[in-house]
Amino acid sequence: MNLGQKIEQLLKMTAMTKVELSKKLGLKDSSVVSHWVKNRFKPDRDNMLKLSHVFEKPVSYFTDDTFSYSAQEAEEEQYDKKIYELLSNLPSGKPIGVLNEIREEFFNISYYSQPEEYLPVMLEVKGQPPFALKVADTAACPWAQKGEYLIFCPSAQIANGKLVLVKTDGLLSVKKVSFTASKAILENAAKKTSRRPRAEVEVIAQLLAFYRKP
């Protein structure tokens, strides 16, 4: 079974339309999904990851003998996969794990160790459990004070004008984001706005609350 057949089969099994799938993946229109189903071209690495999360299948399920990543892309895929696994495996209904300190506008979350710090806060949310980032430099995140914690809930869909954790050009950052039909409008650490094609901006999580330890 080739990749197009696999996607078509999953659409039927989940009663999902191509339009609905394209929206979940943040694509401009459903014609891209149609091209995948007809095997005209293959999804890139980021869309492979999104497919794996939408259909709850391993990324390897969407590969076939005629399609493979370069060594660098394969390494990046493993990095992204471990980040998602770390977010997914944080305990629900337990103190919230702090994954990283924000010292610069753009950063990565290390997946080499579990959180060493936990907040005495318990939140019940649907889907993946919340996690926290500590603000170590207000210049990198002007919406919070130094020493405050940002509590996020993993989510691919947000309301316009909300603070979110986003991924652009392979790096994470906290931005205030609004979407148009084709663009993402990002307010950065200097409170200046920039416009990016919507497909280039991946929403990782939405801010739930600010927290400061007593």
Q: Are 51 and 33 in contact (CB under 8 A)?
A: no
Q: Which residue has the higher pLDDT, 136 or 74?
A: 136
Sequence ranges of the chain with CATH classification 1.10.260.40? 3-68
Q: What is the pLDDT of residue 134?
A: 92
Q: Please report the pLDDT score of residue 150 as a whole number.
A: 92
- Residue 186 confidence (pLDDT) above 60: yes
Question: What is the average pLDDT across 65-94?
Answer: 53
Per-residue pLDDT band at 65 (split at 50, 70, 90): very low
Amino acid at 194: S
pLDDT on residue 188:
75
Domain with CATH 2.10.109.10 in the chain: 91-211
Topology classification of domain 91-211: Umud Fragment, subunit A (2.10.109)
**pLDDT tens-place string over residues 120-179:** 776 666 667 788 999 998 888 888 888 899 998 887 667 788 888 999 998 999 988 888
Task: Give 114 or 164, the one with higher predicted confidence.
Answer: 164
Where do the H-state alpha helices sit in the chain?
Answer: 3-14, 18-25, 31-37, 45-54, 71-89
Q: What is the largest CA-CA distance in the chain?
A: 57
Range of lowest pLDDT (62-66, 116-120, 209-213): 62-66
In the chain the beta strands, taken as DSSP E runs, fall at 96-102, 117-119, 131-135, 149-154, 162-168, 171-179, 183-187, 193-197, 202-211
Residues ≥6 apart with Cβ < 8 Å to 129? 90, 91, 92, 93, 96, 153
Burial class (CB in 10 A: 0-12, 13-18, 19+), 90: buried
What's phi and psi for 61, nearest 5 deg? -65, -30
pLDDT of residue 58: 79
* pLDDT tens-digit readout, 3-57: 888 888 889 888 888 888 888 888 877 788 888 888 877 888 778 888 888 888 8
For residue 66, name the pLDDT band (cuts at 50, 70, 90).
very low
For residue 1, the number of C-alpha atoms closer than 13 Å in the C-beta half-sphere is: 10
Q: What is the pLDDT of residue 149?
A: 92
pLDDT category, 67, cuts 50, 70, 90? very low
CATH superfamily of 3-68: lambda repressor-like DNA-binding domains (1.10.260.40)
Q: On the CB side of 164, how many CA atoms lie within 13 Å of its CA?
A: 25
